[in-house]
Structure 1
């Protein structure tokens, strides 16, 4: 316990000096905060210093000591009092005891009696201080336990356990409202540069939860809000009357977190449901909205209903857009390529239901299809040779769909530049025929001799012609075509490795595996497992 504040009051200065020196106050744990010479001064000093112990004469100018203490008691002031008086009258003692005085001492003051009274005051004040601390701790833990219990019940409700509703209702958590909406907030960790240590993460989570709780408390008039922390997410359940309130709240929180904590955060707003018992459905849609940040960009508030409305818009098919890109490339229409690529990627996103893995695979397939179409009309297959095997992995490693779009645009520009200097006339028609035949019959036994005979060339001239216009020899080209189709089957189907080998023209699975490893750095099964681990 801290030192006890002591106030002395007597209209005789010699008595005051005697009280100060009679015993060692500091050794007993007291600090003398003031000395009053009359009743008025006593009142002023009490209000100024709020002493815990008052030793006061009963009879003083400008106010009887007992009357002053009685008035202060009525005002709720609870200091301990020891009265002193020169009058040995039972009436004063009785009044003092009625007012809760610890003791009543008669002048001249006896040192032993004063020490005894002071020690009694110390004991009582220490006991009361301990009781008060215990009450405060009990209140704190009761409040904490209640909050923890509510959070656990709400956590269950958000997971679909409607049995928690009765307990939540009994705890006065559930309000009557038109709508219930769940918002899910998450820190964009990629924006922080370096990973957090556990201590830093805990501090950030604490600061974030404080901002959210304080904001929800300030917004009680607009909506009934509760915070539940689920793993790395902050889930906010809101009961509200105005349909657009969750968006307003989310924008307010987003602004505060950006401003006060300098953190990049994304927030998904779920569907507004008409009953709190459907909170789990709103939570699921909020999580879906949050996952869309890969497509929309980080540090944004994403509304699930708005995304659904966008996805329902009619647009060209993926195949039509792929064809438009090929036409723009062959016609060398550079200005049209970027908007076409953006439209194509947006349509892939819509068709794959904002699923990151499916969207990346769809983009990869579109690049291959565009490349194949160019190859049919004369552009060399060597364009993607350098990184064809790693292309899908590179696309999957992009932190956002914007980065995917940037990579695709770079590839298409490379195609544009490459196509500009390619074949024309009869040679183009001939090479187109050769490549189309290979695309159709790659799973068959194709040799340089059989291909040369097909186009009425001798094998030596055919080999020279093919390498001149494609940049690679015929055997490597056939292998590239087979490996491209093998990779597609490996990543997009559950076919066994021996089945894939057979479908792309290899009679021996061991030979196929060796060629695949030479091309992509891993045997087929290992490549498939590595890719799927990366996607989860």
Structure 2
């Protein structure tokens, strides 16, 4: 928030300087005089020293005239507002001044009312420019803040294949390690033991597992990435030199996999199973390694060693075989569903469910227990996807009812019907989130304006009350009302003033004070602008 606007006055007539300094309503404009100068050269030095927000300058002055001074200031990069005040109403000078980026051109003698109105306009422009700067700075900070998150999302897409090759290529090209190295994916399954089922904060539990694993990776395999997937699954992408032989790789993976399983069990008492995809030399095939890793976890038919729960992909089976593909398809489906929920894209969610159910029908995985597990996991995914957008599902619905509902699912049609119904509920809630929040803020603001219009109300004051930035609050207000905060406040004040005048109990200066204006001429100008007639004319009507 800008605390005080600075203005410099430049004129070779000391009497004009004195009159302007006296006439400008400094307090009302929330402005201060940063200095005075009596010629263009002195004015240049003053502006260089003080860098004011607004310059009011004469044109004809000794040593250096106003236009030359402005030209020099603009060439030095001065971006403030410039108001020309001249005794010569000469069209040529006005044209020249406009070319130099002058904001207003006033002819002497200028009335106090005109000077105040022009300064008000300049300050309003400065406020809008400042708000835009804050908005850009805020956006830059947000981008910095969210960059690591965005990187993780791209990495997740690369591993699960939820984006096209063309979409993902931009991300890959920014990271040379994807094009210069080989890759292998480890699928992580957190086993649903009795202990795990008792954990109330599932998210906290997943992050605890991630922290333990990332600590091991930092020491043992730095060129790696841990990727959180849905509910009880995650993936580890291991990168290694392109010339690495698969036999050497298997031994390295066995060691680190065993260490991960042991440490997670030791520190968190959580049991993990690991599936291992095949080595891929091209980044495009990373998603296939993920598919193979989760197929290995699903089948559990090819243990890497007898002393630990690590399973290799059975390469004797055809890679595209549906029975093995089903688990990876489920992983991808969960990721896409989470994204649809976060973006509140109901149509997208419906399409995903429809396609997934069709693919599910072509596999052997249609046992009621498996269908109920999918419903439970989608419920968990939606819960955390909504939580990321600021909605706590338990506050909006009874999840025990959801559990009762999906516990009775026995076929894929019932699963599809249940999923579609829940998505409609979830997405409608998500899309309402901002609107509900904004509606509450707007109700508060409008009520506050109508109750306190006689006070010195600003958008900055209100932004502190509702804990929303001034810039964003201005945006919400304009979007909801179709006008700026200041215009709306003025309109409320003028409508109230109209009512008071028509009552006939108060004098005009009393009405002006009652609606927040001490300056009666300024009040009258605004009144005519909003109502269409002067206050005195309204009395006669």
TM-score tier by shorter-chain length is 0.3 to 0.5
The structure with higher relative contact order (CA 8 Å, sep 6+) is 2
TM-score, normalisation: structure 2: 0.35
